Amino acid sequence: MRGEEPTVIEALKTRALPEGSCDYLLEFLRLYRDAVQLVVDRIWGINEKLSWKKLHRLFYSDLVGRGLRAHHAKEIYIYANSLVDSARSNGGRKPVLRRLSARVDKYDYRLDLDNMTLTLKLHSDHEVKLKLVTSRDRVEKFRGWSNYELVVKYEDGEFWVSLYFRRVIKPVKPRTVMAIDLNFDNVTLAVLTLDGRLVKLKRFKTPYRKILTHKIWIERIQRRYPRSWRFIKGVRKAIERHGERIRNISWEYSHKLGDLVAELAIRYHSVIVLEDLDELRENNKKSKEFNKKLGLWFYRRIQFCVDYEAGERDLEVVKVNPRGTSSKCPRCGRKLVEYEHRVLKCKKCDFIGDRDVIATLNLYKKFIKKHSRCGVPGVTLNAPKPDENPSGMQGNKNEAMKTNQTT
Ligand SMILES: [Zn+2]
């Protein structure tokens, strides 16, 4: 496909024990934090967007003059700039840093996975060697990945490092496209060949009822104790318990679904097509539905798991703009009208189909359109006719309505 190669990024967080004295490391972390603060303070007063080049000109020599290394300096001004950016866009106050934490570029450390050690290059040519306190199994996974960055922290008297690993996915050329439409009560999945033939249609129920029940309980409790629920331990605990249940239900579901989807994609040699949630607009029917009933977080969680499981299996995931996918005719592009419960009809070409299946067909179409210039043959969708099998359309509701509960 176009652009960058798809990659998977994962972090390994582990405790780290300095060999010998930790004085220099602590000194470094303080120096680093104070340097970030200094840059934040100065940028805060400048009312313009700063390019990396400009940041470099403004701060590089000052930071290096404090004994920091070249790449330390770069990490510091870029990090400070991003802090200011996000504080400004949230309408927040000037960031004040308290915690001791430093982001370190690959040029400033040596990672030895065989011996589970890490050597950090600090200020003024000091070095510190750290022993990684974790199991060999956790580390083994990352052999062959590239490590490009780490974050070292001092927290409650202990040092922690998060090592960031990256692996390029070499996707096999897909033979089919798997389009996935997320709804608050179901997830609909369609597998189509590159020339538009439907080979698999599946629908999974979501546990939205269970989640809603807990949500309603929380709201009920909060209404009964509108002012005090935060302060009465028993009440707060009850709310936390329901919140915990919601988290567990949604993670468990998302993991299972991600796994199922990825296994199916392997079987059908599919590229997985998801809706780009960042493109969901306020006026979109779907986003309204979600904000009210469940929240986009549930969507994102499912996508995260699909993405993750696909990455583990070297499968490619592509996101397309979901705009219009649930309202336009997949055959002729006209606006569809309500026909029956969950069934839509096109007035122009008489296409009739299940609402969610239509969404997957449109996602498929968008994918083909977007990628037809780069390897995938440019085909026009031969949308299943209402009376055709196995389209999941009218007269064939059994297949489309079949549900596989994954909870
Ligand atoms: Zn039509």
pLDDT at 356: 93
CA of 187 to the centre of ligand 1 (A): 24
CA of 334 to the centre of ligand 1 (A): 5
CA of 368 to the centre of ligand 1 (A): 18
pLDDT at 86: 86
Number of C-beta neighbours around residue 257 at 10 A? 24
Tokens of 245: 């249940």
Flag residues of the chain having pLDDT under 70. Answer: 1-4, 171, 281-295, 372-407
Burial of 29 (0-12, 13-18, 19+ CB in 10 A): buried
Q: In terms of DSSP bridges, do strands 186-193 and 176-182 run parallel, antiparallel, or are they unpaired?
A: antiparallel
CA of 107 to the centre of ligand 1 (A): 57
pLDDT at 350: 92
CA of 392 to the centre of ligand 1 (A): 17
CA of 380 to the centre of ligand 1 (A): 14
pLDDT at 225: 86
CA of 91 to the centre of ligand 1 (A): 46
CA of 339 to the centre of ligand 1 (A): 13
CA of 177 to the centre of ligand 1 (A): 22
CA of 204 to the centre of ligand 1 (A): 27
pLDDT at 287: 55
Q: Is the dihedral of CA 61, 66, 69, 72 positive or negative?
A: negative
Q: Which own/partner contact pairs does 77-82 have at CB distance under 8 Å and 24+ positions apart?
A: 77/39, 78/52, 79/36, 79/103, 80/36, 80/37, 80/39, 80/40, 80/43, 81/39, 81/43, 81/50, 81/55
CA of 379 to the centre of ligand 1 (A): 17
pLDDT at 375: 44
pLDDT at 403: 34
CA of 389 to the centre of ligand 1 (A): 18
pLDDT at 43: 94
pTM over 0.75: no
